[in-house]
């Protein structure tokens, strides 16, 4: 049995293990998908950065062109004021000859602020000489590079330095002082909208405060925080104090993975339960088969034992008679014993034959209207002496107003006798049997009550199984085949009736046979 259980567990674990492995293998694939997705988002962020670089480059060009013709520098239609007007995010344009002369343009009329800004940009130019030299070297090589020369301060507009064309009179270096939130909102924002469409949410945040500057999601407020798990982040190249974040609208890859995982786990749980159920059924069947096999072998030894006693009595008395040395009186007694034992033998054989007929569904029942009280009387009349011989008292309580039932007289008689036999077999000192007939709804019943050894609750449903013999008391001294109650139950099923048992160990048992009352033809 242990080996069978071990095999079952192995059978159960194999598919579960396999499915778990599969589950893991799938998440590997999903990792690749997620990687691809992340790369895609990276590419989008890259293109946005590229775009903001391009925009600033084009602005720088415009300022450069405006500065080329010194006569038009102050022209509000073509000069610096016109360009400043056009690019609202640029607060000031600062120019320097890298020596002593610098100039600052701006639409802001606040002279103090303008002066302060110019001083600050002058000092930045002085401090970053080597970086500016580098910018010039790039320019000479034909490539305009722009650079933010301040620390990542996000509380004020920041200067983006670039080198002016060599053809520009007076000045060599310029800086656009840009209000970054405005730049992000008004210049980059529309581009973000185009890229994001309905598929992504792209947002720009301040790095120091994590404050939202702009988002393509209209419902996002200034206090919207970046969800670190769901989004991808990237700094602006030119504006290190700010970063971009991008995420999928609706379900993220993680959500999809989680959904699939949950579905898979539910299916796995269901499969495992079905498997466990199947194994439980299989285990129960095997256990039943094993106990049946054991019961069968016990049956063979029981029946042999039951047959041997009458056989040896018959042969012993037959041999004595054969010798013809006994008195007439004794002869008669021996013949009676032989007849009684032969009847017992045929009873046993009949029961086995009956059983095999019922098993093969070959048993034919001849149903006729019967009166239960009459049948009980008949049986008790012939059984009375037998009971008395064995020292039993038998009380009969009849319900006189019983209707007729439909049934096979022989089969019902046999079932009833079986119950009386059992009541006798399983009684010990208290040899009292009560037989009762009665009514219960649509049923008539006959019950056999004894005061014998009784049956434990846990065995009460098994006693109707074929070959089953309850392991109680001195059962091994009591002869039996374990077929009696099986036959009774089958007979009751064939009559659309039922059998009920009430019993407790030491307090006797009551077996009740219920038969459907025959319907009145008028009803």
Residues near ligand ADP, by CB under 6 A: 422-423, 425-426, 450, 452-455, 463, 468-470, 472, 475, 480-486, 509
- In angstroms, rounded to a whole number, what is the distance separating the alpha carbons of residues 119 and 104? 10
Smaller CB separation from ligand ADP, 185 or 421? 421
Helix (H) or strand (E) holding 177: strand 173-178
Tell me which long-range contacts 182-187 makes (C-beta under 8 A, separation of at least 24): 182/88, 182/89, 183/52, 183/89, 184/213, 184/214, 184/239, 184/242, 185/213, 185/214, 186/88, 186/89, 187/52, 187/55, 187/89
Distance from C-alpha of 204 to C-alpha of 226, rounded to nearest angstrom: 10
Q: Of the two residues 154 and 486, which places its CB atom closer to ligand ADP in the complex?
A: 486
64 or 481: CB nearest ligand ADP: 481
Task: Tell me the torsion sign for CA atoms 505, 510, 513, 514.
Answer: negative
Q: How far is the CB of 488 from ligand ADP (least distance, A)?
A: 7
373 - beta bridge partners? none
Give the strand pairing for 368-370 and 232-235. unpaired
For tokens 């983006």, the residue is 160
Alpha carbons 445 and 246: distance in angstroms, whole number: 82
Taking the complex as a whole, how short is the minimal distance between the CB of residue 455 and ligand ADP, in angstroms? 5
- Measured from the CB atom, the residue of 72 and 498 that comes closer to ligand ADP is 498
Choice between 103 and 498, CB closer to ligand ADP: 498
Residue closer to ligand ADP, measured from CB, 240 or 347: 347
Least Å from the CB of residue 456 to ligand ADP: 10
> Least Å distance between CB 453 and ligand ADP?
5
Q: How far is the CB of 425 from ligand ADP (least distance, A)?
A: 6
Taking the complex as a whole, the smallest distance from the CB of residue 295 to ligand ADP amounts, in Å, to: 10
Angstrom distance (rounded) from CA 420 to CA 484: 11
Nearer to ligand ADP, 106 or 482 (CB): 482
Q: Which residues contact 485 (CB under 8 A, 6 or more apart)?
A: 418, 422, 463, 464, 499
3-state DSSP call for residue 246?
A: strand
The CB-of-351 to ligand ADP minimum distance in angstroms stands at: 9
Nearer of residues 81 and 480 to ligand ADP, judged by Cβ: 480
Reference 367, options 402, 415, 410; nearest CA is 410
DSSP bridge pairs for 368: 407
* CB 460, min distance to ligand ADP, A: 9
Q: Which residue has the tokens 């037989």?
A: 435
CB of 316 vs ligand ADP, minimal distance in Å:
25
Q: Are 46 and 39 in contact (CB under 8 A)?
A: no
Cβ proximity to ligand ADP: between 103 and 425 the closer is: 425
């Amino acid at each position: 049995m242990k080996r069978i259980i071990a095999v079952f567990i192995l059978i159960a674990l194999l598919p579960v293990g396999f499915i778990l492995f599969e589950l893991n293998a799938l998440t590997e694939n999903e990792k690749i998908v997620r990687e691809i997705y992340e790369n895609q988002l990276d590419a989008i962020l890259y293109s946005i950065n590229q775009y903001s670089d391009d925009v600033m480059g084009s602005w720088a060009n415009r300022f450069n062109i405006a500065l080329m013709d010194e006569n038009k520098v102050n022209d509000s239609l073509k000069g610096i004021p016109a360009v400043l007007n056009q690019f609202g995010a640029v607060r000031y344009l600062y120019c320097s000859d890298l020596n002593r002369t610098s100039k600052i343009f701006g639409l802001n009329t606040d002279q103090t602020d303008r002066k302060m800004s110019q001083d600050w940009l002058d000092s930045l130019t002085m401090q970053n000489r080597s970086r500016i030299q580098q910018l010039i070297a790039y320019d000479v090589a034909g490539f305009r590079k722009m650079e933010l020369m301040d620390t990542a301060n996000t509380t004020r507009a920041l200067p983006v330095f670039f080198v002016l064309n060599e053809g520009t009179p007076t000045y060599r270096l310029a800086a656009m002082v840009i209000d970054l939130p405005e730049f992000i909102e008004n210049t980059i924002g529309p581009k973000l909208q185009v890229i994001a469409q309905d598929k992504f949410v792209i947002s720009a945040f301040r790095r120091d405060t994590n404050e939202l500057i702009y988002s393509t999601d209209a419902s996002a407020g200034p206090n919207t925080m970046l969800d670190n798990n769901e989004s991808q982040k990237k700094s602006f190249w030119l504006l290190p104090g700010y970063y971009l974040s991008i995420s999928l609208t609706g379900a993220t890859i993680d959500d999809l993975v989680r959904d699939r995982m949950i579905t898979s786990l539910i299916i796995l749980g269901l499969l495992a339960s079905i498997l466990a159920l199947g194994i439980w059924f299989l285990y129960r069947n095997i256990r039943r088969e094993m106990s049946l096999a054991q019961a069968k072998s016990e049956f063979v030894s029981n029946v042999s034992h039951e047959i041997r006693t009458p056989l040896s009595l018959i042969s012993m008395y037959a041999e004595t008679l054969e010798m013809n040395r006994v008195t007439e009186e004794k002869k008669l007694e021996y013949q009676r014993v032989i007849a009684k034992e032969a009847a017992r033998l045929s009873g046993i054989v009949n029961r086995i034959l009956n059983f095999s007929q019922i098993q093969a569904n070959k048993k034919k029942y001849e149903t006729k209207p019967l009166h239960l009280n009459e049948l009980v009387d008949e049986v008790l009349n012939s059984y009375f002496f037998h009971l008395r011989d064995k020292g039993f008292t038998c009380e009969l309580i009849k319900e006189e107003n019983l209707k007729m039932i439909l049934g096979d007289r022989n089969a019902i008689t046999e079932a009833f006798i079986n119950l009386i036999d059992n009541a006798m077999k399983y009684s010990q000192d208290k040899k009292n049997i009560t037989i009762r007939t009665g009514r219960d709804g649509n049923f008539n019943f006959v019950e056999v009550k004894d005061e014998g050894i009784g049956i434990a609750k846990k065995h009460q449903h098994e006693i109707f199984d074929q070959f089953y013999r309850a392991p109680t008391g001195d059962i091994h001294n009591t002869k039996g085949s374990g077929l009696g109650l099986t036959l009774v139950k089958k007979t009751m099923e064939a009559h659309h009736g039922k059998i009920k048992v009430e019993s407790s160990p030491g307090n006797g048992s009551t077996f009740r046979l219920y038969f459907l009352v025959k319907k009145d033809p008028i009803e």
